[in-house]
Structure 1
């Protein structure tokens, strides 16, 4: 299966990389997301957790909205790998 990207340069679902897609989030997954999102960016977090970038970004938004993850103080752009 070929790796494809959406119009924003995010990797689309690929079973080899997104092995946890559609599975419930564990407490460990959410803790990793909260701790590492700002440090390594959504691209790397998504590969580590085995979920799409869009799913990781959506979960970060939900956690911030619910007060479980700190809001970003400065907009930071992460370089895209492969695009």
Structure 2
């Protein structure tokens, strides 16, 4: 069952977030830098096996170091896994 926080982000799930807590490798950082604007945070978190909050934190740090440009604020990505209206979880 997928659970979401109050911001609509997926909570930690060991099956989906298998890299959570592990060191970031250069390949993952390159993928994040080049594909985030195309696929969005939710899909990126699933691709990298980390939570959305962890991905957002890494993006913030990369932008602060000047390794990643600011995103296009007008671009929005649809959620891949929608929530039920009367529940906070969706079965997968």
TM-score, scaled to structure 1 = 0.91
SS at match of 1:70: coil
- 5+ residue gaps, structure 1, are none
| Deviation of the 1:77 alpha carbon | 2.2
Equivalent residues in 2 for 1:42-61, closer than 5 Å: 42-61=41-60
List gaps (5 residues or longer) in structure 2.
84-92
Structure with the greater relative contact order (CA < 8 A, sep ≥ 6): 1 or 2?
2
CA-CA distance at 1:31 after TM superposition: 0.3
Q: Report the Cα distance in structure 1 between the residues aligned to 2:12 and 2:69, rounded to whole angstroms.
A: 27
Separation (CA, whole Å) in 2 of partners of 1:76 and 1:44: 15
RMSD (Å), alpha carbons: 1.1
Could you tell me which residue of structure 1 aligns to residue 23 of structure 2? 24
User: Could you say which structure has the larger radius of gyration?
Assistant: 2
Residue 65 (structure 1) aligned with residue 64 (structure 2): yes
What residue number does 2:33 align with? 34
Post-superposition Cα deviations, 1:18-57, rounded to whole Å, max 9, x if no partner, equal: 0000000000010000001000001001000000011001
**Deviation, structure 1 residue 79:** 1.5
SS at match of 2:3: coil
Scaled by the length of structure 2, the TM-score of the pair is 0.83
Higher strand share: 2
